[in-house]
């Protein structure tokens, strides 16, 4: 085989690897879009509607809302808006004219949602372990936002991106929590035990995946 043939074969192989990597990246993005469409949007719409009084709350949430008529609706609405906005802000990361103002607005929703999560967790009649999970989730959410702001002010764009993706992972805890507790009802599992476990696992597992898989995070943040 001539040198030119070897070179041409190598180029073709490299091109195929690039195309395969691009296909895998596109597949990941499609999965993310499907999750957003099927899981995130309906849950957020219900949360916003419930927070605004347009959708009736379940009895236990109604009682919590009656004890904190401002904090609980503010938490539901702002947390849902943060969850809806997060994919948009990430998608606009290459367009600073959109990314920056949208990111600031997202930060406002996270601050309100995180700060209100703390007293709401304390006032809740949920099991103590579940309330602790919600409280720590709120603190982690706020800490990741603060760390992300500090990193971008130091112009550490890569760290900022990782921290914001971790913050989004914590935000999705609202989705996984509802899936886990809903599954417990369908399967007839001990509800209080699942509820408490979901209050921790719902946000800790996504956060652990993002932290343990930097390549996956880099792929999602790539062009």
pLDDT at 6: 47
pTM of the model: 0.80
Share of the chain above pLDDT 70, in %: 78
Averaged over 157-172, what is the pLDDT? 91
Short-list 177, 168, 176, 206, CA closest to 61: 177
- The answer to whether the beta carbons of residues 202 and 177 sit under 8 Å apart is yes
Cα 143 to its chain centre, rounded Å, is 14
Q: CA dist 201 to 2, 70, 118, 152, 192, Å?
A: 58, 28, 18, 29, 14
Ranges 17-31, 34-48, 122-136: which has the least confidence: 17-31
Q: Please choose, from the candidates 195, 190, 176, 136, the residue with its C-alpha nearest in 3D space to the C-alpha of residue 39.
A: 176
For residue 2, is pLDDT > 90? no
Mean pLDDT value across the chain: 83
């Amino acid at each position: 085989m001539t040198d030119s043939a070897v070179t041409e074969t190598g180029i073709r192989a490299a091109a195929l690897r690039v195309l395969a990597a691009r296909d895998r990246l596109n597949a990941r993005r499609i999965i993310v879009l499907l999750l957003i469409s099927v899981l995130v949007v309906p849950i957020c719409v219900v949360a916003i509607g419930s927070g605004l009084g347009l959708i009736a709350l379940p009895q236990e949430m109604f009682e919590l809302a009656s004890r904190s008529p401002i904090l609980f609706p503010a938490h539901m609405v702002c947390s849902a808006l943060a969850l809806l906005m997060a994919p948009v802000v990430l998608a606009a990361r290459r367009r600073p004219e959109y990314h920056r103002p949208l990111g600031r607005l997202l930060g406002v929703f996270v601050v309100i949602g995180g700060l209100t999560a703390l007293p709401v967790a304390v006032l809740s009649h949920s099991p103590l372990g579940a309330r602790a999970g919600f409280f720590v989730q709120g603190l982690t959410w706020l800490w990741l936002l603060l760390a992300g702001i500090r990193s971008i002010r130091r112009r550490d764009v890569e760290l900022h991106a990782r921290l914001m993706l971790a913050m989004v992972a914590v935000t999705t805890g609202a989705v996984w929590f509802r899936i886990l507790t809903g599954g417990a009802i369908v399967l007839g599992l001990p509800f209080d035990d699942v509820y408490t476990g979901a209050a921790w696992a719902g946000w800790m597992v996504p956060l652990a995946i993002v932290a343990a898989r930097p390549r996956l995070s880099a792929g999602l943040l790539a062009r």
